[in-house]
Amino acid sequence: MTAITPPLTWSCRTSSSVTGVSSSKRRPSWVYDHGTEPDPRFTLANERTFLAWIRTSLALLAGAAAVHAFDLDVSDTVAAWSGGLLAVGGLLCALQAWFGWARNERALREERPLPSSGVGAVLAAAVAVVALILLVIGSR
Amino acid sequence: MSGRIDEGGPRRSWTRIVWRRLPGDGQRPISRPDPGLQQERTRLAWRRSMLAFAVVGLAVVRAAYVESVHVAVVLALIGLGIAMWLSLTTLRRGRWTWPSQREPEFLEVLRDGTLPLLVTAMAAVLCLAVLANALRLLS
């Protein structure tokens, strides 16, 4: 964090005396009950990462819908399996979006290193499997 | 009148919550503009994500309509309701988290996990609908 310390005018870490917060409780509490408010830029960046995962989820979902819509030259079973697998991938992405966001936010608040997850690898494998199925079976 | 905080009070309504005057409105920025334009990038990221949602959501509802009108109507109603709620909430968030590129001020509505959770739930519902269709085809 020290490498990207903002200039003095941007010392953004706010104490409760200047926040003027009269607000409701922030959820989820397992994130916001820990640590202190991070630089807002990091919070915003975390939110964009969340949105990127959500869009990935939607892209997989669009793929799943396309398998059915485009009337590929494969059997119904194959189409259902590929569509189902892509939909599961989309679900996985959506879950990673949320839990990744929450874990990152908590790590930022506690000034810990950001956590990692294996979802990316699982996702790559799933997409590769679907592509192989469609390539091999679809080209016969 | 700029810089006066509207206390809200008992006259709270949606229009007042969204559009009321904020401290710092109409004043010149006192600090450097954000070099990365984080606020704007985030707002645009939300916008294109919601556009993607609209497109994929419509496609799924359209596909569901062929199979079952009831499922399609339920999906569309869930989507519409959440979309309306989202548009109101994002207006508030966009405005209140970092007003007019001054020092960040955290006002009444703080960014938290509610909106991400809602969006995740919406994506999960769409995924489950497509998954259910695939399973139905298999059986």
Q: Looking at CA atoms only, how far is residue B78 from chain A in angstroms?
A: 17
Q: How many CA atoms lie within 13 A of A83 on its CB side?
A: 30
Q: Looking at CA atoms only, how far is residue A79 from chain B in angstroms?
A: 8
Q: What are the pLDDT digits (tens) for B33-49?
A: 565 677 778 888 988 99
> Do residue A91 and residue B131 have CB atoms under 8 angstroms apart?
yes
CA-CA-CA-CA torsion sign (B138, A74, B71, B57)? positive
Residue of B nearest to A80 (CA): B134
Residues A86-110 have a mean pLDDT of 96
Token readout for B133 is 């269709």
Q: Give residue B106's pLDDT band: very low, low, confident or very high (50, 70, 90).
A: very low
> Do residue B113 and residue A62 have CB atoms under 8 angstroms apart?
no
Tell which residue, B110, B62, B61, B52, has the closest CA to residue A93. Answer: B52
Q: What are the pLDDT digits (tens) for B28-87?
A: 555 555 656 777 788 889 889 989 999 999 999 998 898 889 999 999 998 888 888 877
Q: Looking at CA atoms only, how far is residue B46 from chain A in angstroms?
A: 7
> Given CB atoms, is A16 within the 8 Å cutoff of chain B?
no
CA distance A135 to A75: 13
> Given CB atoms, is A13 within the 8 Å cutoff of chain B?
no
| Packing angle, helices A40-69 and A76-109, rounded to 10 | 180
> Do residue A61 and residue B123 have CB atoms under 8 angstroms apart?
yes
Cis bond before residue A28 (omega within 30° of 0): yes
> Do residue B60 and residue A32 have CB atoms under 8 angstroms apart?
no
CA distance B137 to A76: 7
Q: Are A114 and A46 in contact (CB under 8 A)?
A: no
Residue of A nearest to B60 (CA): A65
> Do residue B114 and residue A88 have CB atoms under 8 angstroms apart?
no
* ipTM of model: 0.81
- Kindly tell me if the per-residue pLDDT of A38 is higher than 70: yes
Q: Give residue A18's pLDDT band: very low, low, confident or very high (50, 70, 90).
A: very low
Q: How far is CA A48 from CA A39, A89, A97, B14, in A?
A: 15, 20, 10, 27
Q: Give residue B26's pLDDT band: very low, low, confident or very high (50, 70, 90).
A: low
Q: What are the pLDDT digits (tens) for A101-134?
A: 999 999 999 999 999 999 999 999 999 999 999 8
